[in-house]
Structure 1
Amino acid sequence: MSPRKAAALRDGGRSLREHLIATAERLMAERGAAGLTVRAIAREAGVADGVLYNHFADKEELLACALRARVRAVESGLGDLPEPGAGTVEAGLRAFVAYGMALHAGILPVFAGLAGQPAVLARFAGGPVPGLDWRDRLLAYLKAERDLGRLAPDARVEAAARMIVGVCHEPVMSALASVPPPDPPAPAPAPAPGAAGPDDAGLDDLVAAVLHGLGRR
């Protein structure tokens, strides 16, 4: 191992590949992803430019790995999701929606910065995609609440989950399509089950639409 590579790894037991991913992820968080170069990543990581190509096929692979790490970092600060049967269904659903909105608001700047690099986004989508756990847990939560009798036995929970996921995806998709999105809420931990969340009329309206529908009663 060269002295420069050794210096880059003095801070812990990470492999050099892990160190490079962590460095690129930090630069994405601090400076954004637009214009992020191999040279900038290498200098920040304390290695020669060519070292990156010993661990990644190309720049796009490294940035896709860093993007996954960024999404996981945002997820890690959002707190726990509610369990079925805890508190009210309305409070639980509100917590899931708040979590999803905060997650997508947190990752929006990075995705927007990569809008001009479709190869990176394709690499990201081609591997394990963080954020799916929230989507899968949302659907599982709605199914469990239906099984517990706290939702109607014929509740169309799959459609409800798709609607919620779509609302949370909207800011990211609008940014990638260069369409000005609605102002997203600032990233914040999801409220605990049964606790009041932020005063957000849009979030409350979405929860009410999911729980009570749109038809006349």
Structure 2
Amino acid sequence: MSPRKAAVLRGGEQSLREHLIATAERLMAERGASGLTVRVIAREARVADGVLYNHFADKEELLACALRARVNAVERGLGDLPEPGAGTIEAGLRAWIAYGMAMHAGILPVIAGLIGQPEVLARFAEQPASAADWRDRLLAYLTAERDLGRLAPDARVEAAARMIVGVCHESVMSTMVFGPAAPVRRPTDDELDDLVAAVLHGLGA
């Protein structure tokens, strides 16, 4: 271990690899991922540029690891989701939607900065996630509620899940299109209630 590397980590339990990932993840959260270079990360981590290549095959691997860390950090901060059968179906569905919107607001702006780096996103997709995808968990929740008889036996839960995911995407689409300077639109409580009502009761007369 070089003296400079030892100074960076002195007094902590992180490995240098973990330190570099944490630094890149913090920069993604603070500045977005666009323009995030090896030099910028190395300076923030207080190591020489070449040190990164002792722990990662290339910049893309480091950014993919940092993106996974960002996703995990966002989800850890959102709390637990309701279990099937707990409380009212309206309250449970509202909590799932609010969770999804907050998660997308925290993650998609970072991913937007990586659209021009498809290799990073491909590496990210190859990594094992810490938990099942939120959309898959939402679909499992709706399916379980249907099996419990709290939704109609012929409820089209797949379509409902796609509709909810679409609303979550729409809430941050301006950031994806116009960049981090565009404000993330956060739905009001009334809009959340309207979506829950549309999912549960449909649009028919």
Same fold (TM over 0.5): yes
Aligned equivalents of 1:173 and 1:127: distance in 2?
A: 25
What are the Cα deviations for residues 110-140 of structure 1, in whole angstroms up to 9, with x where unaligned?
1222233233223222333567442222112
**For 1:67-106, what aligned pairs fall within 5 Å after superposition?**
67-106=67-106
The range that moved more, 11-20 or 49-58, is: 11-20
1:207 corresponds, among 169, 180, 196, to 196
Question: What residue identity is the alignment partner of 1:33?
Answer: A
Report 1:33-182 matches (<5 A).
33-129=33-129, 132-171=132-171, 175-178=175-178
Match of 2:185 in 1: 184
2: CA distance, partners of 1:110 / 1:166? 18
CA pair 143-11 structure 1, distance change in 2 beyond 3 A: farther
**Does structure 1 retain, via aligned residues, the 8 Å contact 2:175–2:183?**
no
Offset at residue 177 of structure 1 (A):
4.6
Gaps spanning 5+ residues in structure 1: where?
187-198
Which residue identity is paired with 1:204? D
Q: CA RMSD in A?
A: 2.4
Cα distance in 2, alignment partners of residues 60 and 158 from structure 1 = 34
CA contact (8 A) 2:175 2:184 kept: no
2: distance between equivalents of 1:130 and 1:93? 23
Question: CA 1:94 to 1:153, structure 2 compared with 1: closer, same or farther past 3 Å?
Answer: same
Task: Compute the TM-score of the two structures, normalised by the length of structure 1.
Answer: 0.84
TM-score (norm 2): 0.88
Q: Distance in 1 between matches of 2:183 and 2:44?
A: 34
Of structures 1 and 2, the one scoring higher in RCO (CA 8 A, sep 6+) is 1
1:23 CA drift (Å) = 0.7
Q: Cα deviation per residue 1:2-36 (whole Å; 9 max; x = unaligned)?
A: 01111222242222211110110011112222211
Post-superposition offset of 1:183: 4.1
Which residue number in structure 2 is paired with residue 195 of structure 1?
none
Percent of residue pairs identical? 81
Distance 1:174 1:123, change over 3 A: farther
Residue pair 1:111, 1:172 contacting (<8 A) in 2 also: no
Matches of 2:185 and 2:174, distance apart in 1: 11
> Which runs of no fewer than 5 residues in structure 2 stay unpaired?
none
Letter in 1 for 2:79: G
Shift of 1:185: 1.7
